[in-house]
């Protein structure tokens, strides 16, 4: 596995370990002063990775387009995610990374539509995206850890 992709996978493992004990109600809670929740952040990581890697490369994503648009940057949670939906997001957290690694090793990411991120980073190719994913995953890990401190415990 590519080292960068492996690191993304490790971040996701750590993230899911941190929230694995939470009930669906806690995962869906939007604390005062926040505009999203833990469930949204988990799904957003999957959706963003799919959009950045696949859509911008002119490839078909692994997840449905409606999933990507529902959890894209700038969106907010529409409805609570039930237990089954949360399990699906958890599965996608790893299956999409495994698929990314496989597709990357096969050299499928030949073209790339340049993207200027809101963080001042310009993504020119899949190599830039793999580096940026580490930042993006870390950013949302911090967001989830902050949300976790503000949700109702027990």
Tens digits of per-residue pLDDT, 75-92?
999 999 999 999 999 999
Q: Looking at residue 53, which CATH number applies to its domain?
A: 1.20.120.450
pTM over 0.85: yes
Which range of residues forms the domain containing residue 100?
3-150
Tally of structural domains, the chain: 1
The set of long-range contacts for 96-104, using a CB threshold of 8 Å and a minimum separation of 24, is 96/46, 96/49, 96/50, 96/62, 96/63, 97/5, 97/8, 97/9, 97/12, 97/49, 98/9, 99/62, 100/5, 100/49, 100/53, 101/1, 101/2, 101/5, 101/6, 103/59, 104/2, 104/5, 104/130
Q: What is the pLDDT of residue 1?
A: 87
pLDDT of 154 strictly over 80: no
């Amino acid at each position: 596995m590519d080292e960068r992709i492996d690191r993304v996978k490790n971040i996701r493992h750590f993230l899911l370990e941190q929230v694995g004990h939470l009930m669906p109600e806690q995962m869906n809670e939007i604390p005062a002063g926040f505009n999203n929740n833990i469930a949204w952040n988990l799904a957003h990581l999957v959706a963003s990775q799919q959009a950045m890697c696949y859509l911008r490369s002119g490839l078909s994503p692994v997840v449905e387009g409606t999933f990507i648009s529902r959890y894209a940057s700038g969106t907010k949670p529409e409805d609570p995610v039930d237990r089954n939906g949360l399990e699906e997001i958890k599965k996608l957290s790893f299956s999409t990374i495994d698929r990314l690694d496989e597709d990357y090793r096969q050299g499928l990411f030949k073209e790339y539509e340049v993207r200027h991120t809101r963080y001042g980073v310009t993504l020119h190719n899949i190599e830039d995206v793999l580096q940026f994913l580490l930042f993006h995953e870390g950013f949302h890990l911090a967001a989830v850890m902050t949300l976790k401190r503000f949700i109702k415990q027990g």
